[in-house]
C-alpha cells in the first residue's frame, strides 16, 4: 500500500532507509473546553478562562463536550478510520502545566483507529489512531533567554488547560522529510476541511512531533527518536533531515542510537536530547472513573459522515475531471494542488461553469489568484468569470487580463470598467480587420505561403499586427481573422 | 414525628424560630465540642445569617423547604464556598473553595443551616479519624475511644446531639462504620444517586455522600434532599427524585432477608448476638429470614485495598504546591513538589498513595489493579445470585465496637480489617445502612447493617425502620450536649 | 500473579513516581507495612478470573455529554489569591528541569 516516494539515503557505507512516523496534535475549534464550559480561545488575558474543572480544583469533575466528540468523529471519517466505542484513560505524570497532574486521554480504546490518508501523488500513509485528549496549560520560562534549560523560574497560564485535542498518530510509513511535509500539509488541509481545526501551526493549534529512525532496507525498524518543537512545515523538514543524518553518522561510526526525546533548536539548526528521567514515563494508565463510555451508534456516525464535506483529495479529483486528459500531467497536478490548498476550487469551478475553458481557469487561478489567497477567496465569482471570458474571447490579451486581475483582487469592481480605465479597450473588430488586410496586402508572398499551408506564418502576421496596433491587438483575434480570410 | 423532621415542621409553622434553633445548637457546640472535637470549623456568623433569612421567608409566607432551619454539619471534604475545606490535611490548610459542592447547594435550597465542617481521617482515608492532621475526634460514648472513620466528626456530632443531621462520605464504610461505633444511623446510597461534584475525591468509583442522623426517617429525609441527577457529575444517574420518607411505614411482611455467614462469623460475639436479635425482629414482623453464604465477600477487602488506593494515588497527585494549598520551596519544581507532599500528607495518606502507585505501575497493573477489577465483577455477580433468593441482606456493620484511641494506628492491616463488612457494597455500588441496635457490656454502641441491590433505597429504609422500632432506646452518651434528645 | 515481595528499592521507586520525599526510616517502615498489606491482597491472585470482565465502575451509563455552550469562568483574583506564588497574573513555580511526558 505504501510506495516510498524517495529513495533511501545513500552514504559512504551503503544505503540507509529513513522510517518516519508523525504525531499531530490538533486543537479542536469548539466554543468551550473538552470537559468544562470555559471558553476555548487563543490570546486572552492569562488565567481568565479557568474554572474548578479545568484548574483541577479539589472536588471538580469532568463532563464531555458533545461538539468535541462530533469533530473527533469527523476527523476519523475524513481519515477513513473505524469509529469505535471508546473510553477515557488517565495518563499520570507530574508537570506544572497539568492541573491534575494527570491528563485525561484515550489509551487502548480510542475513538478512531486504522485509517489512512492519501497524499497528492496518490501514495497512502496509514493512520494508526486519532484519539481525544485534553490540552495542558502554557508555561513561560523566565530568565535564561526564555529557554527551559537556563530558566530561573517559570510562569503558568491555564487558559489552554482542558482545550480539546485530537492526537493523530500515523503509521511509520513515511520515508523522507519531503514526504513528511506532504503528509503534514495534506493532513492540515483535511483538518481544516472538516471544520475541526483552523490549521494555524504558528498559533499552536496544530503541533507536529516526528518519530525518526533509520535502517538498512529490508531490516527490522531501528531505534527511534522523538523530535519535538516543530513549529512550521519548514522546521519539520529541516529537523527530520538533520536527525536522519545524525543517526546515520552514529550508526556508521559503530555506535547505537539511544531512544530519547529530542528538541529541535531552530536557531542552532540541530536536535538536542532533553534531560529526562528513566522512571518519568511510567504513566500508570487506568480507565478514567469520572467519565463513562462513548458509544457512537450508527445513526450518529451517519450524521457525522453527512456533515463531512469533500476532502482535499476529492476536490483535487473534481478539478482533474474538469480538465479531462490534461488533468493528470505533472504541471497540472501541482497547479491543482495549489488551487485546492488555497481554497480556490469553488472560484475556478464557477468560472468553468460560466463558460471559461478549464485550462485557462486553472492557469489564472493557480498562477495569479493564489498569490493573494485571502482576497481571492473573497472575490466576486461573477466578476472573476467575466474577466476570464474577456481573455478567452480575445477582448483582452493575457498580459492585460493579469493586470486587471491584480486590480480586481486589490479593489474589486467590474472587470470591463477596470479594463477601460487601463486603456485596455478591445480593438473594434472592423479596425482589426482593416489592419490585418493592410498587412496581407503588404506581404503577399508570406500570405500566399500561409494560405498554402505554412501555419507558422500566422505568428509572423500576429507579430506585425501587435507592432502596428501598439500591442492593442489580441493575438487570438488576429489568428481568427487570418483563418477567416483564408477560408 | 422524628427529630430533624419535627424541628423543620416547628420552624415552618413558626412555633420555633430558625434563629433560636441555630443559637441553641451553636451554644451546645461551643460548650461541648471541646471534649468531642467533632468540628474543625464552626460557622457562627454565616449560620446566624442563614437562619435569619429563613425566618424572614417564613414571615413572608414562603416555604423555605423540607429542612427549614435544621442545623446540619458537613464533613470537611465537601467544598463550601469561601469557607475553609481542609480534608483534615496540612496540604489544604487554609484553602477556601470558590464554589459549593452540589449537595451543599441542595441543603441550602432545602432550608437547612450549615453550622460547621466536621473532622475526618485525612482525605477520608482511615477508620478511626485518628489520621486527621488536626487531632482525633472522640467517641461521645467513651472519650478514650475512637468514633470510627473516616467520617468520625459527622458521626460524633450527631451522636453527641450537637446537630440532628450531618453529611459524610463512604468509600469503604466511612459513613456506616462510624455510625455503628457512635450509635447513630448512617447510610450509603447507590453509587450515582448523589452528585459527587464538590466532594474531594478519594476513590472516584467508590465514593458516595450520605446522611447521618439519629433516626431512619431523618436519614431518609436528608437522602431525599441531596439525591438527584447533576449535570456537573458524569457519573450521576438521571432518575426521578426519590421520595423515601413516604414509604417508610411499609413494614417487612413477605420480605426475604438473607443473613450471609460472612457478615456474622468472625465478628465480636456481642455484635453477632445483636445481628441475630435484629434478624428475629424482622422475622417477628413478617419477613422470611434465611442464613446464606456469599464466599466472594471475603475477597472484597483485598480488592478494595488495591482499587481504592490506586484511584486515590491519582486523585491526590494534584496536591503539588503549584496552584493552592501548602507549598514547601525547592530548588526546582520537582524538589518543591516532593518536599510539599512530604510535609503536607500524613502517614496513612502516604502509605495509600504508595500502595496505589505500586498497584498501577508497569509490570504490576494486571496482577494487582487489573485483577482487583475482575474480583469486583465476581462480587457484583455474587450479590446478584444472592438477591435471587433474598430482597435484602442483614449483617454486622463492623466486627467490633469502638476501640481505644491509639490501638491500631501502628498496624495498618488491623485497621483495614474494620472495613470487611462494608466494602462489598462500595465495590458493587449498592446501598446499605447501619442502624443502632443496642450496646455491648461496656455500653459501647453496636450497629447492624441492611444491604440491598442498586436503587433499592426504599427497601433499605423500610427494613431499617422496622429494626429501629424494636431497638433498645439509646443511653445518653458520656459527652452528650445540651441539645441531645435521643431518638 | 507475581511472587514479588515489595522491597525497599521498590518503595523508593514508587516514592519517586509519586513525588514524595521519604526519609530512610520512612522507606523502611512503609516498605514493611506495604509488604504486609500486599500479602493480604495477594488473596485476589488466587482467584480464578479467567473469562471475567473487569468492572471499571458499577454504572451502566454511556454517552453522557454536555452542549458546547460557554459558562462563566472564575474571577481571576479569586483564583490567584489562593496561589502560593504569583507573578504577572500567572502561577509562579521554581525552574523546571526535564520535559513533560
Q: Where are the domains of chain C?
A: 1-46
Neighbours of chain B (3+ CB pairs under 8 A): A, C
Most confident of A131-135, A262-266, A324-328: A131-135
Q: Mean pLDDT lowest for which of A321-330, B7-16, B363-372, C47-56?
A: A321-330
Distance of alpha carbon A180 from alpha carbon A178, whole angstroms? 5
Indicate if B326 and B364 belong to the same structural domain. yes
Residues in chain B within 8 Å Cβ distance of A101? 317-318, 320
Indicate if B362 and B402 belong to the same structural domain. no
Distance from CA of A92 to the nearest CA of C (A): 9
Read off the DSSP letter of residue B296.
G
Distance of alpha carbon C70 from alpha carbon A360, whole angstroms? 48
pLDDT of amino acid C1: 40
pLDDT of amino acid A332: 86
Whether residue C76 and residue A48 make contact (CB cut-off 8 A), yes or no, is yes
pLDDT beyond 70 at A9: no
- Contacts of residue B149, defined as CB under 8 A and 6 or more positions apart, other chains included, come to B120, B121, B126, B127, B128, B129, B130, B131, B174, B177, B178
Distance from CA of B71 to the nearest CA of A (A): 23
| Minimal Cβ distance to A66: which of C68, C76, C88 | C68
Residues in chain A within 8 Å Cβ distance of C10? none
- Contacts of residue B320, defined as CB under 8 A and 6 or more positions apart, other chains included, come to A94, A96, A101, B337, B340, B341, C19
C89 near B CB under 8 A:
no
Q: Are A64 and A34 in contact (CB under 8 A)?
A: yes
Q: Mean pLDDT lowest for which of A453-462, B102-111, C51-60?
A: C51-60
pLDDT (tens place) for every residue of chain B, 487 residues total = 458 999 999 999 999 999 999 999 999 999 999 999 999 999 999 999 999 999 999 999 999 999 999 999 999 999 999 999 999 999 998 899 999 999 999 999 999 999 999 999 999 999 999 999 999 999 999 999 999 999 999 999 999 999 999 999 999 999 999 999 999 999 999 999 999 999 999 999 999 999 999 999 999 999 999 999 999 999 999 988 888 988 899 999 999 999 999 999 999 999 999 999 999 999 999 999 999 999 999 899 999 999 999 999 999 999 999 999 999 999 999 999 999 999 999 999 999 999 999 999 988 888 889 999 999 999 999 999 999 999 999 999 999 999 999 999 888 888 888 899 999 999 999 999 999 999 999 999 999 999 999 999 999 999 999 999 999 988 999 999 999 987 6
Indicate if B310 and B447 belong to the same structural domain. no
The residue ranges of DSSP E strands in B371-472, in sequence order, are 392-396, 432-439, 445-451
Q: What is the mean pLDDT of residues A299-326?
A: 89
Distance from CA of A66 to the nearest CA of C (A): 5
Write the CATH number of the domain with boundaries A429-486: 1.10.10
User: Tell me: domain C1-46, CATH 1.10.20.60, correct?
Assistant: yes
Distance from CA of B152 to the nearest CA of A (A): 20
Quote the cell numbers at residue B335. 524538589
pLDDT beyond 70 at A8: no
Q: What is the mean pLDDT of residues A199-211?
A: 90
Q: How many CB pairs under 8 A join A and B?
A: 94
Whether residue C69 and residue A37 make contact (CB cut-off 8 A), yes or no, is yes
pLDDT beyond 80 at A43: yes
Q: Are A24 and A220 in contact (CB under 8 A)?
A: no
pLDDT of amino acid A278: 45
Q: What is the mean pLDDT of residues A92-102?
A: 97
| Minimal Cβ distance to B234: which of A55, A57, A61 | A61
Neighbours of chain C (3+ CB pairs under 8 A): A, B
Whether residue C96 and residue A55 make contact (CB cut-off 8 A), yes or no, is no
Indicate if B189 and B120 belong to the same structural domain. yes
Q: Residue B476 domain-assigned?
A: no
Q: Which residues of B12-25 are buried (b: 16+ CB within 10 A; e: fewer)?
A: beeebbbbebbbeb
Q: Are B130 and B405 in contact (CB under 8 A)?
A: yes
Question: Hey, is B32 helix, strand or coil?
Answer: helix
| Minimal Cβ distance to C36: which of B324, B334, B413 | B413
Indicate if B46 and B195 belong to the same structural domain. yes
pLDDT of amino acid B267: 95
Whether residue B337 and residue C19 make contact (CB cut-off 8 A), yes or no, is yes
pLDDT of amino acid A467: 86
Q: Which residues of A354-367 are buried (b: 16+ CB within 10 A; e: fewer)?
A: eebbbbbbbbbbbe
pLDDT higher at B485 or A30: A30
Chain A residues with a Cβ under 8 Å from any Cβ in chain B: 52, 55-64, 90, 92, 94, 96, 99-102, 154, 156, 282, 284-286, 289-292
Q: How many CB pairs under 8 A join A and C?
A: 146
Question: Which residue in chain C has the smallest CA separation from A45?
Answer: C89
pLDDT of amino acid A15: 87
Q: What is the mean pLDDT of residues A403-430?
A: 83
Whether residue A59 and residue B324 make contact (CB cut-off 8 A), yes or no, is no
**Per-residue confidence band for A4, with pLDDT thresholds at 50, 70 and 90:** very low
Indicate if B289 and B327 belong to the same structural domain. no
pLDDT of amino acid B33: 97
Count of domains forming chain B: 2
Whether residue B367 and residue C55 make contact (CB cut-off 8 A), yes or no, is no
pLDDT beyond 80 at C58: no
pTM comes to: 0.89
Question: Which residue in chain B has the smallest CA separation from A97?
Answer: B322
Across chain A, what does the average pLDDT equal?
90
Whether residue A284 and residue B337 make contact (CB cut-off 8 A), yes or no, is no
Residues in chain A within 8 Å Cβ distance of C14? none
Assign 3-state DSSP to chain A and report helix, strand, coil percentages, each to 5: 45, 20, 35
**Per-residue confidence band for A424, with pLDDT thresholds at 50, 70 and 90:** confident
Quote the cell numbers at residue B23. 443559637
Going B21 to B25 to B26 to B31, the CA torsion angle's sign is: positive
Q: Residue B365 domain-assigned?
A: yes
What pLDDT digit, counting tens, does each position of A152-170 carry? 999 999 999 999 999 999 9
**Per-residue confidence band for A331, with pLDDT thresholds at 50, 70 and 90:** confident
Interface probe for C, chosen from B358, B383, B408, B423 (most Cβ of C below 10 Å), is: B358
| Minimal Cβ distance to C20: which of B327, B342, B367 | B342
Residues in chain A within 8 Å Cβ distance of B333? 96, 154
Chain B residues with a Cβ under 8 Å from any Cβ in chain A: 78-79, 85, 87, 92, 95, 97-99, 101, 196-201, 203-205, 231-235, 310-311, 313-314, 317-318, 320, 322-324, 333-334, 337, 357, 360-362, 365, 369
- Contacts of residue A7, defined as CB under 8 A and 6 or more positions apart, other chains included, come to none
Domain that holds residue B364: 301-373
| Minimal Cβ distance to B334: which of C1, C66, C97 | C97
Interface probe for C, chosen from B321, B374, B383 (most Cβ of C below 10 Å), is: B374
Question: Active-site positions of B?
Answer: 75, 150, 174
Residue ending a domain, choose from B340, B355, B373:
B373
Question: Which residue in chain C has the smallest CA separation from B82?
Answer: C78
Whether residue B98 and residue C14 make contact (CB cut-off 8 A), yes or no, is no
Indicate if B338 and B453 belong to the same structural domain. no
Q: Are A161 and A97 in contact (CB under 8 A)?
A: yes
pLDDT beyond 80 at A428: no
- Contacts of residue A144, defined as CB under 8 A and 6 or more positions apart, other chains included, come to A150, A151, A152
Q: Which residues of B353-373 are buried (b: 16+ CB within 10 A; e: fewer)?
A: bbbbbbbbbeebbebbbbbbb
Residues in chain B within 8 Å Cβ distance of C74? 98
Residue ending a domain, choose from B322, B349, B373:
B373
pLDDT of amino acid C41: 80
Interface probe for A, chosen from B232, B357, B366, B374 (most Cβ of A below 10 Å), is: B232
CATH of residue B90: 3.90.1300.10
Distance of alpha carbon B267 from alpha carbon A336, whole angstroms? 81
Whether residue A279 and residue C17 make contact (CB cut-off 8 A), yes or no, is yes
Whether residue C1 and residue B367 make contact (CB cut-off 8 A), yes or no, is yes
Residues in chain B within 8 Å Cβ distance of C62? none
Does an H or E element contain A92, and which?
strand A89-92
pLDDT of amino acid A3: 39
Distance of alpha carbon A66 from alpha carbon B101, whole angstroms? 24
pLDDT of amino acid A10: 52
Amino acid at each position: 500500500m505504501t510506495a516510498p516516494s524517495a529513495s533511501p539515503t545513500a552514504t559512504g557505507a551503503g544505503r540507509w532507509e529513513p522510517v518516519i512516523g508523525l504525531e499531530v496534535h490538533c486543537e479542536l475549534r469548539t466554543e468551550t473546553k473538552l470537559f468544562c464550559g470555559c471558553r476555548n480561545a487563543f490570546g486572552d488575558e492569562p488565567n481568565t478562562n479557568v474554572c474548578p474543572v479545568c484548574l483541577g480544583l479539589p472536588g471538580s469533575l469532568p463532563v464531555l463536550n458533545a461538539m468535541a466528540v462530533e469533530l473527533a468523529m469527523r476527523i476519523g471519517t475524513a481519515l477513513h478510520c473505524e469509529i469505535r466505542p471508546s473510553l477515557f484513560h488517565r495518563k499520570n505524570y507530574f508537570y506544572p502545566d497539568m492541573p491534575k497532574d494527570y491528563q485525561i486521554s484515550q489509551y487502548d480504546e480510542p475513538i478512531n483507529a486504522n485509517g489512512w490518508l492519501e497524499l497528492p501523488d496518490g501514495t497512502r500513509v496509514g493512520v494508526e489512531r486519532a484519539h481525544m485528549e485534553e490540552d495542558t496549560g502554557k508555561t513561560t520560562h523566565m530568565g535564561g533567554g526564555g529557554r527551559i534549560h537556563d530558566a530561573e523560574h517559570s510562569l503558568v497560564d491555564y487558559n489552554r488547560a482542558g482545550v480539546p485535542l485530537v492526537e493523530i498518530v500515523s503509521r511509520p510509513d513515511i520515508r523522507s522529510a519531503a514526504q513528511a511535509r506532504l503528509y503534514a500539509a495534506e493532513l492540515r488541509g483535511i483538518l481544516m476541511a472538516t471544520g475541526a481545526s483552523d490549521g494555524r501551526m504558528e498559533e499552536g493549534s496544530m503541533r507536529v512531533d516526528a518519530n525518526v529512525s533509520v535502517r538498512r532496507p529490508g531490516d527490522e525498524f531501528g531505534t527511534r527518536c522523538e523530535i519535538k518543537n516543530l513549529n512550521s512545515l519548514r522546521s519539520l523538514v529541516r529537523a527530520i533531515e538533520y536527525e536522519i543524518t545524525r543517526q546515520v553518522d552514529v550508526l556508521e561510526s559503530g555506535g547505537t542510537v539511544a531512544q530519547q526525546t529530542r528538541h529541535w533548536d531552530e536557531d542552532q539548526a540541530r536536535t538536542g536530547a532533553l534531560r529526562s528521567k528513566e522512571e518519568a514515563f511510567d504513566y500508570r494508565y487506568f480507565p478514567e472513573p469520572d467519565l463513562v463510555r462513548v458509544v457512537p451508534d450508527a445513526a450518529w456516525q451517519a450524521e457525522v459522515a453527512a456533515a463531512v464535506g469533500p476532502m482535499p483529495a476529492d476536490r483535487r479529483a473534481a478539478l482533474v475531471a474538469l480538465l479531462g486528459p490534461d488533468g493528470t500531467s505533472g504541471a497540472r497536478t501541482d497547479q491543482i494542488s495549489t488551487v485546492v490548498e488555497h481554497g480556490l476550487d469553488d472560484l475556478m469551478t464557477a468560472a468553468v461553469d460560466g463558460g471559461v475553458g478549464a485550462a485557462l481557469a486553472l492557469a489564472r487561478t493557480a498562477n495569479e489568484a493564489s498569490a493573494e489567497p485571502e482576497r481571492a477567496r473573497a472575490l466576486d465569482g461573477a466578476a472573476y468569470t467575466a474577466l476570464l471570458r474577456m481573455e478567452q474571447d480575445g477582448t483582452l490579451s493575457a498580459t492585460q487580463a493579469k493586470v486587471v486581475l491584480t486590480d480586481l483582487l486589490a479593489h474589486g469592481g467590474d472587470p470591463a470598467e477596470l479594463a477601460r480605465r487601463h486603456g485596455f479597450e478591445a480593438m473594434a473588430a472592423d479596425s482589426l480587420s482593416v489592419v490585418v488586410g493592410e498587412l496581407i496586402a503588404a506581404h503577399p508572398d508570406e500570405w500566399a505561403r500561409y494560405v498554402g499551408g505554412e501555419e507558422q506564418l500566422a505568428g509572423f502576421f500576429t507579430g506585425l499586427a501587435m507592432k502596428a496596433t501598439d500591442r492593442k491587438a489580441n493575438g487570438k483575434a488576429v489568428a481568427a481573422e487570418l483563418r477567416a480570410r483564408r477560408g | 414525628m422524628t427529630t430533624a423532621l419535627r424541628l423543620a415542621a416547628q420552624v415552618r409553622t413558626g412555633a420555633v424560630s430558625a434563629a433560636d434553633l441555630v443559637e441553641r445548637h451553636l451554644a451546645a457546640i461551643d460548650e461541648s465540642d471541646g471534649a468531642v472535637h467533632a468540628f474543625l470549623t464552626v460557622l457562627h456568623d454565616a449560620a446566624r445569617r442563614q437562619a435569619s433569612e429563613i425566618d424572614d421567608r417564613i414571615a413572608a409566607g414562603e416555604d423555605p423547604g423540607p429542612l427549614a432551619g435544621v442545623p446540619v454539619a458537613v464533613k470537611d471534604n465537601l467544598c463550601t464556598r469561601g469557607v475553609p475545606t481542609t480534608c483534615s490535611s496540612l496540604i489544604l490548610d487554609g484553602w477556601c473553595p470558590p464554589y459549593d459542592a452540589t449537595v451543599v447547594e441542595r441543603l441550602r435550597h432545602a432550608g437547612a443551616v450549615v453550622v460547621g465542617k466536621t473532622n475526618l481521617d485525612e482525605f477520608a482515608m482511615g477508620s478511626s479519624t485518628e489520621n486527621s492532621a488536626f487531632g482525633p475526634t472522640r467517641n461521645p460514648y467513651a472519650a478514650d475511644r475512637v468514633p470510627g472513620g473516616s467520617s468520625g466528626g459527622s458521626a460524633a456530632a450527631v451522636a453527641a446531639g450537637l446537630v440532628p443531621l450531618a453529611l459524610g462520605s463512604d468509600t469503604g464504610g466511612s459513613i456506616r462504620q462510624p455510625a455503628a461505633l457512635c450509635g447513630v444511623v448512617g447510610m450509603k446510597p447507590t453509587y450515582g444517586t448523589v452528585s459527587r461534584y464538590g466532594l474531594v475525591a478519594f476513590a472516584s468509583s467508590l465514593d458516595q455522600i450520605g446522611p447521618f442522623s439519629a433516626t431512619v426517617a431523618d436519614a431518609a429525609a436528608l437522602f431525599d434532599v441531596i439525591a438527584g441527577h447533576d449535570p456537573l457529575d458524569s457519573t450521576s444517574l438521571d432518575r426521578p427524585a426519590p421520595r423515601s420518607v413516604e414509604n417508610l411505614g411499609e413494614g417487612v411482611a413477605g420480605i426475604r432477608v438473607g443473613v450471609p455467614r460472612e457478615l456474622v462469623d468472625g465478628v465480636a460475639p456481642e455484635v453477632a448476638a445483636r445481628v441475630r436479635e435484629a434478624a428475629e425482629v424482622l422475622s417477628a414482623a413478617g419477613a422470611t429470614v434465611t442464613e446464606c453464604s456469599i464466599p466472594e465477600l471475603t475477597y472484597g477487602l483485598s480488592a478494595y485495598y488495591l482499587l481504592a488506593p490506586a484511584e486515590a494515588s491519582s486523585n491526590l497527585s494534584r496536591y503539588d504546591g503549584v496552584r493552592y494549598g501548602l507549598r514547601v520551596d525547592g530548588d526546582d519544581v520537582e524538589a518543591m513538589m516532593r518536599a510539599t507532599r512530604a510535609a503536607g500528607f500524613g502517614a496513612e495518606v502516604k502509605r495509600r498513595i504508595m500502595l496505589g502507585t505500586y498497584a498501577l505501575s508497569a509490570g504490576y497493573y494486571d496482577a494487582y489493579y487489573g485483577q482487583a477489577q475482575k474480583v469486583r465483577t465476581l462480587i457484583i455477580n455474587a450479590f446478584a445470585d444472592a438477591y435471587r433468593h433474598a430482597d435484602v441482606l442483614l449483617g454486622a456493620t463492623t466486627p467490633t465496637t469502638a476501640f481505644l484511641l491509639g490501638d491500631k494506628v501502628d498496624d495498618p492491616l488491623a485497621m483495614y480489617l474494620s472495613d470487611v463488612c462494608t466494602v462489598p457494597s462500595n465495590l458493587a455500588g449498592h446501598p446499605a445502612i447501619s442502624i443502632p441496635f443496642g450496646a455491648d457490656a461496656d455500653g459501647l454502641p453496636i450497629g447492624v447493617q441492611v444491604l440491598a441491590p442498586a436503587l433499592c433505597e426504599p427497601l433499605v429504609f423500610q427494613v431499617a425502620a422496622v429494626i429501629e422500632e424494636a431497638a433498645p432506646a439509646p443511653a445518653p452518651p458520656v459527652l452528650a450536649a445540651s441539645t441531645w434528645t435521643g431518638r | 500473579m507475581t511472587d514479588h515481595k515489595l522491597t525497599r528499592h521498590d518503595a523508593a521507586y514508587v516514592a519517586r513516581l509519586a513525588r514524595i520525599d521519604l526519609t530512610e526510616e520512612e522507606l523502611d517502615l512503609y516498605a514493611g507495612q506495604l509488604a504486609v498489606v500486599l500479602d493480604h491482597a495477594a488473596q485476589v491472585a488466587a482467584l480464578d478470573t479467567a473469562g471475567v470482565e473487569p468492572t471499571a465502575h458499577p454504572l451502566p451509563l454511556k454517552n453522557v455529554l454536555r452542549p458546547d455552550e460557554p459558562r462563566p469562568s472564575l474571577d481571576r483574583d479569586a483564583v490567584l489569591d489562593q496561589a502560593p506564588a504569583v507573578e504577572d497574573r500567572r502561577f509562579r513555580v521554581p525552574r523546571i528541569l526535564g520535559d513533560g511526558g
